[in-house]
Each structure stands twice: as C-alpha cells, then as structure tokens.
Copies of this chain bind each other. A is one copy, B any other.
Amino acid sequence: MTSTSRPSGTEPSRRRRGKAPTIFDVAAVAGVSKSTVSNVVRGADEVSEQTRARVLEAIARLQYTPNAIARQFVNQRTTNLGVLVGDLGNPYYAHMARVVERAAFGFGYTAMFCNIEGDDNLAAAGVDALVEQRVAGVVFLAFSENTPHLEDSLRGAAVPIVFLGLHERWADSVGPRDAEGGRLAAEHLLALGHERIAYMRTALVEPSTDRARQSGYRAALRHAGRAAQPTLRWEPGSPVLRSGREQLGVAELFRRPHAPTAVFVSNDIGAIALMEAVESAGIGVPADLSVVGFDDIAIAGLRRISLTTVAQPLDFQAEKAVAMLLERIERPSLPLRHVSVAVELRERGSTTRPRVG
C-alpha cells in the first residue's frame, strides 16, 4: 500500500528492481539499438513501420517514460521556464501566474515558480536556484527595482527574460499603458466634479510603474487646471499613512477640511484595502470618498466591492510575455521589444459626484 510497487512479470531480468526502465531496457526488449529507440521516442521519421511498432510495444510493456532530466542534460537545454512571482497570495499575480503556466504548458514547457515576496535574500536565492536549474527562460512577474542583486544575477546568467506587467529597459517587457491609465482615472474623477483628487501609492506596485501612473494623473489635473494633492503613501493594513511629508491616521486625513474627495490608488488590492480602512472608520465609499483602482482583478467586479478601476488585459499580457520569451530563447540576438497594451476605465460603484458643501 505504499505505492512503491511496480508491475513485475515479463521484463528482462537484468532490469534492476525498483528502477525506472531506460531506453536501454526498451532496446533490449524490442531487439534494436538504443539509437533506434531514441529515434522512435523523438518521432524521427527515419524508422520503418515495423521497427517502430516493435519499439512502441516494448515501451508499452515496460511502461517506459522518457527521462527528461537526461534529455535536458544532453541537449544542454531544458524545457522549464522559471517564474519569479511577487506573491501568489495576491490575486493579480495569481491570475497572471495561472495564465503563464497554461501558456507555457501549451508550448511544451513546464513552469517552475518562485515566490519573491519582499525579502531580497529570498529573491536572490530563488534566482540562483532557477539559474542552477538551467531554466530556459525567466518570466519576471514581480518587482525589480530595489533589488539590484537580482538584476546582476539575471544578467550575469545570460538567461532570456521577460518582464510581465511592467516595463524594464534592459530586457523584453510587456505591460500596460500606465500613464494613460492614470489619465483615464483622473479624467473620470474630474468629470464627476471632484476638485481635490489625490494619488495614492502602496508598496504593492513597482516604483517606476507608480511614477508613470502618477504622471498621467498629474497631466490630467494640469490639463483641467486643478492642483495635484500631496501624494499619499500607505501600506495596506496600517492605521497611518503619509500625505506629502506629514504622517497621520487614515480616517484623520479624510475627515479634515479640504480633504481629498477622491483617491486614485495605483492598484486594486490597495484600493480595496483603502475602502476597507475608511469604511471601518465610518467614511463611506463612494458617499464620502470616491475610489479608483488599477488592474481590474476579479474581485473588483463583485457587486459588493464594485470598484471603479483601470482595467488592463491580464490574460493577453501573460500570453504575450510567454510567446516573447520563447521567441527570445530561439533567437537570443533579437532586438529588445517592449509591448504596451491598452487600458480602459471600468466605471463601477466606488465613484460618484462629490458631496456638495
């Protein structure tokens, strides 16, 4: 009952018990050479029908499974893709990760995941592990700034890499039009009549991405002749936030005179957490505060959440990233490519006109 048993019977006696059959065993049973078995397994077409049938039968009889480790070893090339993911517990990453795995598998690759989650040492160890495993390429689905060691390791290993969901100069990347998204969010709030619209960043978004989204927001405000509010910085779950240079309680900020009546948060998880935080302090969304997010993760669309947000095509980006990575694996000398995908505003219930007075 320990699942180590294995059908015994007609195998050649020189098959070592408890070991998986090899190409050698198959060759012996079929009465051909290892080369021929290899040709059959790989689907080379220079094998006669008769021989092929004999080999296939031997394979079935022995329940032979090719050893991909050996194959990868001799080929000096694996069919594994490494996926560096920020945090699988974050729905945004989880969604992307799922599509990446699906796409990779469709192309005959397996996906080795590695959570990165903040800790730089862990991230570095993860990259080292992937490099040692000689992954054919890496999908970078996480931060890259603030972790210079990562970039060194990745570039040093000369492993093909694609950044997914963000833009990075030194490698292929596919990400959303961040500035345009910021502009759409701000324009929506302006159109509703908001005059004091704040931008909020969290540690959940890469700094350069944050800057791009904020620049779009700023541009829209400027165009409308409105002053940008001090930048809000908040760590979801924290009772305090920073507004420009001051630090104060979340509720405190939104209760004082001339407080922002609308906030554009640079990502959905942060936006939903903000709704949670202000509402538990009695500040209603959207009655007292309009909130816009970015990403359009699945839960943003639940009626009870109903978050207005800048939607980016997650599946498309993930699939595109994998395709680009495979292209680079085939042709490492390809020029760098940076794909930007369109975003669109999804108006839902978390935004409305500002309260009068």
Tell whether A6 is near chain B: CB-to-CB under 8 Å.
Answer: yes
Q: Is the CB of B1 within 8 A of A170?
A: yes
Q: Is the CB of A69 within 8 A of B73?
A: yes
- CB-CB contacts below 8 Å: A133-182 with B: 133-134, 154-158, 160-161, 170-171
| Minimum CB–CB distance for A287 against chain B, Å | 14
Q: Is the CB of B332 within 8 A of A4?
A: yes
Q: Is the CB of B158 within 8 A of A3?
A: yes
Nearest CB in chain B to that of A279: its residue? B303
Tell whether A8 is near chain B: CB-to-CB under 8 Å.
Answer: no
- CB-CB contacts below 8 Å: A67-117 with B: 67-70, 72-73, 78, 80, 87-89, 91, 94-95, 97-98, 101-102, 105, 110-115
Given the interface contacts A69-B72, A334-B2, does A98 sit within 8 Å of B89 by beta carbon?
yes
Q: Is the CB of A132 within 8 A of B68?
A: yes
How many Å lie between the Cα of A69 and that of B78 in the bound state? 9
Number of copies: 2
How many Å lie between the Cα of A156 and that of B5 in the bound state? 8
Q: Is the CB of A1 within 8 A of B304?
A: no
Q: Is the CB of A333 within 8 A of B2?
A: yes
Which residues of chain B come closer than 8 Å to A332, judged between CB atoms?
2-4
Q: Is the CB of B110 within 8 A of A129?
A: yes
Q: Is the CB of A94 within 8 A of B101?
A: no
Which residues of A does B touch, CB under 8 Å?
1-6, 63, 65-70, 72-73, 78, 80, 87-89, 91, 94-95, 97-98, 101-102, 105, 110-115, 122, 125-126, 128-134, 154-158, 160-161, 170-171, 272, 275-276, 279-280, 298-299, 302-305, 332-336
Q: Is the CB of B97 within 8 A of A88?
A: yes
* One of B130, B279, B304 near A276 (C-beta < 8 A): B304
A interface, by DSSP: helix, strand, loop or mixed?
mixed
Besides the known contacts A65-B131, A68-B129, 18 further A-B residue pairs in the complex with CB atoms under 8 A apart: A2-B332, A2-B334, A2-B335, A3-B160, A3-B332, A4-B158, A69-B78, A73-B73, A88-B95, A89-B95, A91-B91, A101-B113, A110-B112, A110-B130, A111-B113, A111-B114, A112-B113, A276-B304
* One of B5, B102, B132, B158 near A5 (C-beta < 8 A): B158
Nearest CB in chain B to that of A158: its residue? B4
Which residues of chain B come closer than 8 Å to A131, judged between CB atoms?
65
Q: Is the CB of B2 within 8 A of A80?
A: no
Q: Is the CB of B126 within 8 A of A105?
A: yes
How many Å lie between the Cα of A235 and that of B298 in the bound state? 17
Nearest CB in chain B to that of A75: its residue? B69
Q: Is the CB of A129 within 8 A of B105?
A: yes
Which residues of chain B come closer than 8 Å to A73, judged between CB atoms?
69-70, 73
Q: Is the CB of A132 within 8 A of B304?
A: no
Which residues of chain B come closer than 8 Å to A299, judged between CB atoms?
299
* One of B1, B4, B114 near A110 (C-beta < 8 A): B114
Query: Can you identify 28 A-B contacts, CB atoms within 8 angstroms?
Result: A1-B336, A2-B334, A2-B335, A2-B336, A3-B160, A3-B332, A4-B333, A6-B158, A65-B132, A67-B132, A68-B129, A69-B133, A87-B98, A89-B94, A89-B95, A94-B94, A94-B97, A98-B115, A101-B113, A101-B114, A101-B115, A102-B115, A105-B114, A105-B125, A110-B129, A111-B113, A113-B113, A276-B303
